[in-house]
Amino acid sequence: MNAHYLFPMLGTFAVLLFPSMETRAADARTWLPNFEEAAARAKTLNRDLFVFVGGSDWSAVSRAYKTNVIASPQLPPALGGDLLWLEIDHPELPTDAQKESARKNRDFNVTIHNYPGVVLLDAEGRCYLKLEAPPGGVTELAAAVKAARALKARRDAELALAAKTAGAESARHLGSALDLVGPMGQQNGKQSHRKLLDELKKLDPKDAVGTQRRLTFNPDAFAEKELWPLTDKKKFAEAHKLVDKELSDPRNSVGLRQHLLGLKFFVFQREERLDDAVRQLQQIVALDRTSDMAREATAYIANITQPVTLASKEWKPEHLRFFFAEWRLDAAKQVTGPGQYEIQFKHTGGDSITVRDVAVMNGAAQLVKADLPKRGDTVALKVPPFTPGGKVWLKISAQGHGWFGSHGEILIRKL
């Protein structure tokens, strides 16, 4: 064969046979075989451990994230060169080798609900970052890791001061260290910071620092055990008193105050006191506009306060609210002039709804309004003469029930 054709073919074969040589040269990571060995190595070398948790044979998202982000040669330099690396796979149908690996990963107790997961552990095996289904690519992951490691450095500085001091001062520094980690530090099995919390309890049995309150008070458990039983019995005054007592605790963190305000919102919502409910959401936003709860509250305020425009005569689950909301439906083709009209709410599936009243509007002017019977789905309205050419629409006060699976149709007939 002519050498002119041979060399390009050899180059092609090289690419086909050795596709990962360039990647290996750029990415010199050594992936440790299991958590048992990785944890021991991390402690001996005093280095942090980067853990990627995936599901190789069932999670397409995990496979894609591994290929595009975790396996990228740009990731190690973006994160820094002092990490140890471990992949923990949770396949649905494990091979014998994977079963053996799982036995040596059994001490890794950080639970991932939304795959894939990225976890950072310090040299002592304590979790200080847990990302589930992380968004973005290498840049976004690097930013999250950088922020977590900066927070960990502040934690370590407080721990060092706690070790050098005693009594109340040591408790204050230890409390500051745990506050930096937050509730996540108590929620990761053997990789939690619970030993540090136990030490703090001995130093600060009356919780003067307040960290124990901030880390161990569970608003959701409080609501399930104490609050919701009261609201189920419509004992709203007692429910508010209960939440207000917890809100008044000076040891509360901003996040805990936001969560408790969220509980007050739900109590007001159950009472159908919409304005008071909205005020709780506004307070959540005012406490920390950058928090996830503030963003959710802002979106919910818009959801509550803005009218629901129906694109057709059908209502769907997304149109429903726990409270009475304003629906708007274009009725220009059905209400064409004065006369007697019948409006029927024909429920076709899912949970029921309650319609309180219906008004016929001409632009911003109300032509007629009528309440629906308590157990009825049909109302009659006598529309007076009006100037044609304006926007004729129905203004409906409706409330959803159950899990919002309701479907139905609004029928307009001239009698």
* Phi and psi angles of residue 368, each rounded to the nearest 5 degrees, phi first: -160, 150
CB count within 10 Å of CB 342 equals: 13
Residue 82 one-letter amino acid: D
Structural domains in the chain plus CATH codes: 1-216 (3.40.30.10), 219-305 (1.25.40.10), 308-414 (2.60.120)
pLDDT band at 295; cut points 50, 70, 90: very high
pLDDT band at 333; cut points 50, 70, 90: very high
Complete edge-to-edge strand list for the sheet that includes strand 31-32: 31-32, 83-89, 48-54, 117-121, 127-132
Residues 187-244: pLDDT tens digits? Answer: 999 999 999 999 999 999 999 999 999 999 999 999 999 999 999 999 999 999 999 9
Query: CA nearest 118: which of 85, 155, 73?
Result: 85
Least confident of 6-10, 88-92, 210-214: 6-10
pLDDT over 80 (residue 9):
no
3-state secondary structure of 314: strand
Query: CA nearest 27: which of 68, 77, 66, 89?
Result: 77
Return the H-helix or E-strand segment holding 358.
Answer: strand 353-362
pLDDT band at 352; cut points 50, 70, 90: confident
Least confident of 12-21, 122-131, 152-161, 345-354: 12-21
Please calculate the CA angle 228-354-349 and round it to the nearest 5 degrees: 95
Alpha carbons 242 and 236: distance in angstroms, whole number:
10
pLDDT band at 302; cut points 50, 70, 90: confident
Please give the model's pTM, rounded to 2 decimal places.
Answer: 0.71
Alpha carbons 156 and 193: distance in angstroms, whole number:
12
Please calculate the CA angle 355-356-362 and round it to the nearest 5 degrees: 95
Please calculate the CA angle 292-298-300 and round it to the nearest 5 degrees: 105
pLDDT over 60 (residue 13):
no
Instruction: Give the distance from CA 270 to its chain's centroid.
Output: 23
The per-residue b/e assignment along 137-164, b for 16 or more CB within 10 angstroms, e otherwise, is ebeebbebbeebbeebeebeebbebbee
| Per-residue H/E/C for 64-119 | HHHHHHHCCCCHHHHHCCCEEEEEEECCCCCCHHHHHHHHCCCCCCCCCCCCCEEE
The two tokens of residue 85 are 């690396």
Strand-pair partners of 378: 344
Query: CA nearest 129: which of 152, 154, 157?
Result: 152
